[in-house]
Structure 1
Amino acid sequence: MRVDAATLPDLLGYDSLADHGLTRHGLKRLIESGEFERIAPGLFLRAGLTDDTTAAWTAIAAKKPDATLCLLTALSLHELTDEIPTRSDIAIPRGTQPLTVHHAPIAWHRFDADTFEIGREEYALPGGLTIGLYSTERTLIDLFRLRHTWGSDLAISALKQWLRGRGNSPAALLTMAKSFPKARPSIQDALEILL
């Protein structure tokens, strides 16, 4: 019996094929016909549903629920930079392994498990999934915390733009920064200069 591809969910995994009356052979036919594409080992997305970057994020979200968009990728999503990321910056808790992903370049960052959840929100993806996204404040803190790698200019520029936004609270930023003692003094100094 042939399954109608239109009735299938947008995201399929080997573990859910039987739930949809599909065999691996049937899935192979769907891939060969161009209706689905492999986005990670054992994970398939309806072809043409999204761009390669979002397909990679979808694969990561399905396999690594704690993965979180961070640094320049998060800054771009929060519209606090004109830089266009050439890769996706994704944080995972220190001690966990990254995922092999096809189609898009990924830069994996390992963040301390004790502070990993601070400022973590959700970002909606196709197939009903979400991936973690650090809040604007957490992203700014991470840029200051990692300024030796990312450069102070990016952190200062993003902070300036953030300060111009409505409802943004330097006090809330400094409160969150208390959990990151290496970043807090430089954020405080920058705020004193800019305000």
Structure 2
Amino acid sequence: MSTKAKSILELARYKGFIRARDLIQHAIPTVYLGRLTHLGLLERVSRGLYRLPDSEVTEHYSLAEVAAKVPGGVVCLLSALNFHIIGTQQPHEVWLAIPEKARQPRLKSPRLRLFRFSKSAFTEGVETHVIQGIPVKVYSPAKTVADCFKYRNKIGLDVAMEALRESLRSRKCTREDIHRYARICRVWNVMRPYLEMEASS
């Protein structure tokens, strides 16, 4: 096996996923990706995205896969709650926010539940976490709680209330943080009585 092929496999082992642009950064011709895939040493996940066939699939593997395929999206709502270990929700799809006017991504897998967020509701409260070598954008706990109240008709008020209660009790965020994002998401009037109820309990 050539030195370049070994370098690609080492890079894939280190990063979890490997893309054509990763090879360009290391001055390795991208034709090696096709050769290694043909030999069964790499597996093509989607166009331009590869991994080792025996890659360990972690709990948040699907989030990394979606982030690699839809880099402009942000993990939101139930998927963000699950990522931050808030509440009991176990979504079977990746819940993803995209900009209001963005083109809708079409993925065969993993399954997506898309939401279009506008302006500051999309850009505020974004954290970046590295999962399997891929930068994954996820809304912060406080922003996620505010989003849950904004989309309470889709996810259920009980889920939003659980998110509020658990995020405060586990100290994942403060009341001040929640207040800030509730204003950004324009749900402060809706959330206020629930926040006051939590403060008095």
SS in 2 for 1:138: helix
The equivalent of 2:177 in structure 1 is 172
CA contact (8 A) 1:94 1:110 kept: yes
SS in 1 for 2:87: coil
In 2, Cα distance between equivalents of 1:93 and 1:53: 26
SS in 2 for 1:158: helix
Once the two structures are TM-superposed, the CA of residue 174 in structure 1 deviates from its matched residue by 0.9
The equivalent of 2:165 in structure 1 is 160
In 2, Cα distance between equivalents of 1:101 and 1:52: 20
Give unmatched runs, 5+ long, in structure 1: none
Answer with 116-125 or 98-107: which moved more: 98-107
Correspondence 1:7 to 2:12? no
Correspondence 1:105 to 2:111? yes
The equivalent of 2:138 in structure 1 is 133
Aligned pair in 2 of structure 1 residues 68, 106: CA closer, same or farther (>3 Å)? same
Once the two structures are TM-superposed, the CA of residue 21 in structure 1 deviates from its matched residue by 3.4
Alpha-carbon RMSD across the aligned residues, in angstroms, is 2.6
Q: What is the percent sequence identity of the aligned residues?
A: 26
Give unmatched runs, 5+ long, in structure 2: none
Once the two structures are TM-superposed, the CA of residue 109 in structure 1 deviates from its matched residue by 1.6
The equivalent of 1:28 in structure 2 is 34
Once the two structures are TM-superposed, the CA of residue 55 in structure 1 deviates from its matched residue by 5.1
| Pairing 1:30-69 to 2, within 5 Å after superposition | 30-51=36-57, 54=60, 56-69=62-75
CA contact (8 A) 2:4 2:28 kept: no
CA contact (8 A) 1:39 1:102 kept: no
**Corresponding pairs, count:** 192
The equivalent of 2:93 in structure 1 is 87
Aligned pair in 2 of structure 1 residues 16, 174: CA closer, same or farther (>3 Å)? closer
Aligned pair in 2 of structure 1 residues 52, 166: CA closer, same or farther (>3 Å)? closer
TM-score, length basis structure 2: 0.81
The equivalent of 1:188 in structure 2 is 192
Correspondence 1:114 to 2:120? yes
Once the two structures are TM-superposed, the CA of residue 68 in structure 1 deviates from its matched residue by 0.8
Once the two structures are TM-superposed, the CA of residue 84 in structure 1 deviates from its matched residue by 1.4
Structure 1 segments (4+ residues) deviating >6 Å: none
In 2, Cα distance between equivalents of 1:20 and 1:61: 24
In 2, Cα distance between equivalents of 1:80 and 1:154: 10
Aligned pair in 2 of structure 1 residues 66, 167: CA closer, same or farther (>3 Å)? closer
Once the two structures are TM-superposed, the CA of residue 15 in structure 1 deviates from its matched residue by 4.7
Aligned pair in 2 of structure 1 residues 52, 15: CA closer, same or farther (>3 Å)? same
Higher-helix-fraction structure: 2
